[in-house]
Structure formats: C-alpha cells, structure tokens
Structure 1
C-alpha cells in the first residue's frame, strides 16, 4: 500500500506548538495549496489542509515558520475521529508531516524565518540556508548562479544528460 503526500504551499496560520503529557512536542499548522487550474471565472482556487508534525521538527516549525511562510511538506494522510460536545462523531483527515522544508530565506517577503530541512530523525544542529550563507561572509542571498546575465552558456553536447 502507498500513502504519500507531497505539498508546497503557504501556511494559513501560525503553527501551534503543544506538548503531550510525556513531553513530546507536536505542532499543528494549516497549509494552502493552489490548484493547477482556474475556475469558470478565471480565478485560481486553493485547498486548505491541516498538517501535524512531531518532536524536534515540531519545535523547528513553530520557531521558524509563521503565517504566510512558503513550505514543502512530505508525509502521509491519516484519518481519525472523535465525539464532539454534542455527541456527534467528527471525522478528520490530516497530513502527518514527516519532513518540512522551509522554502524561503529568512528575509524573503513571504515571511518565513529560515530555510532548511528539519526532518524528524535529524540532529538538532542543522542551520537554515540563510544562516549558512551569512557565515561565509562573501555570499549574498540574492546571488543566483542560474540567472541569465546575457552571456552565452558554454556547455558541450557531451555534458547534457539526454
């Protein structure tokens, strides 16, 4: 069986960090993902999905992302149900985020605080993209090695993969 979800979108609200009675961190956040087509009025619609992440990754998401941040989520769908205050059964489908990628540098307009992979099983010593470049001194976040500067690109046919 396969249950895999890969999403790229913007957070719809600030992540909510809580801790279980055993001290395990859990963060909940919403993500808006644009649909690849427009409706009859020519407007692009979006899907709004709830995501959950655990442990160190939950703490990093809560510390470095906020509403409007661009993020990539890799995980799986999980459903659960509970009885609400009226005694009615409520069914919920959530994305259990196993990896969250911060897709904007710290100073980007979208609002995220850092960029990097803070996966669940990783060590806590990873730095975001912006922090690594700041430590190099001469690098600039706005330098794009793939930008078109008007000069021809010198690539032989032997270097192409096709």
Structure 2
C-alpha cells in the first residue's frame, strides 16, 4: 500500500500553532492548490486541502510560513472522524506533512513595490558578456 501526496501551493492564512496537553507542537494551515485545467467559464479553480504538521516541523512552519507564501508539502492523507455536539459523525480528511519546503524568500523581508531600490530594479543580466572585475585572490581555485 502507498499513501503519499505532494502538493505545491500558497498558504491561505498564517499557520496556527498549538500544543497538545503533553507539550507536542502542531500546526494547521490550508494550502491553495490550482487545478491543472479551467472550468467552462475559462477560470482556473483551486482546491484547499488542510495541512497538519507536528513537533519541530510544526514550530518551524509557525516561525517561517506566512499567508501567501509558495510552499511544497510532502506527506500522507489521513481521514479521522468524531461525533459533533448534535450527535452526528463528522469526517475530516487532511494532509499530514512530514516534509515542507519553502519555495520563495520570506515576503516580510521584501520591500513594498513603491519603495524598491535601484538595485532591485536592475536587470541582473544587463552586463551579460562584459568582463567581471574580480581579483585573483577572490577566486577559490
């Protein structure tokens, strides 16, 4: 049997960090994952799977992930159930992540678009083909 899932999407909200009564850290968040096709109106739809992380990974996610951040999740699908206050059985399907990759730099460290410095607006390839001024002492070989 195989139960593995890999998702790439953007967080819909900041991760919510909690601790179990025994002190184990856990976070929950939702990932917006685009579907690979458009609907009849030509609009792209998305799915919003809930993601759960545990222990050190949970604390890392709580510290570094923020709403809108592009993230890759690897884990397994788990379904649990419970009885709600009305006596009805409720089923919850979630992704239990055991690997989380941050796919872009932290957005909080970026400057707002209207305050970009000249360096951020430069074309990184504008000097392509021109000699680079570097001394032999700076070369690693």
The alignment's TM-score, normalised by the length of structure 2, stands at: 0.76
CA drift of 1:16 comes to 0.5
- Alignment partner, residue 33 of structure 2: 33
CA drift of 1:141 comes to 9.6
CA drift of 1:66 comes to 1.2
CA drift of 1:93 comes to 0.5
Corresponding residue SS for 2:66: coil
Corresponding residue SS for 1:82: strand
- Alignment partner, residue 48 of structure 2: 48
- The answer as to 2:11 corresponding to 1:11 is yes
Root-mean-square deviation over aligned CA pairs: 2.6
- Alignment partner, residue 60 of structure 1: 60
Structure 1 residues 84 and 60: CA distance shift in structure 2, 3 A:
same
- Alignment partner, residue 21 of structure 1: 21
Structure 1 residues 51 and 112: CA distance shift in structure 2, 3 A:
farther
CA drift of 1:21 comes to 1.0
CA-to-partner distance for each residue in 1:31-85, whole Å, 9 max, x for gaps? Answer: 0000000001100000000000001110010111111111000000000001111
Corresponding residue SS for 1:59: helix
Query: How far apart are the structure 2 equivalents of 1:54 and 1:39?
Result: 36
Q: Which has the higher contact order (CA 8 A, sep 6+)?
A: 2
Corresponding residue SS for 2:56: helix
Select the structure of larger CA radius of gyration.
Answer: 2
Structure 1 residues 41 and 83: CA distance shift in structure 2, 3 A:
same
Query: How far apart are the structure 2 equivalents of 1:75 and 1:62?
Result: 18
Corresponding residue SS for 1:62: helix
CA drift of 1:148 comes to 9.9
- The answer as to 2:81 corresponding to 1:81 is yes
CA drift of 1:13 comes to 1.2
Query: How far apart are the structure 2 equivalents of 1:103 and 1:97?
Result: 16
Query: How far apart are the structure 1 equivalents of 2:78 and 2:99?
Result: 15
How many residues align? The count is 120
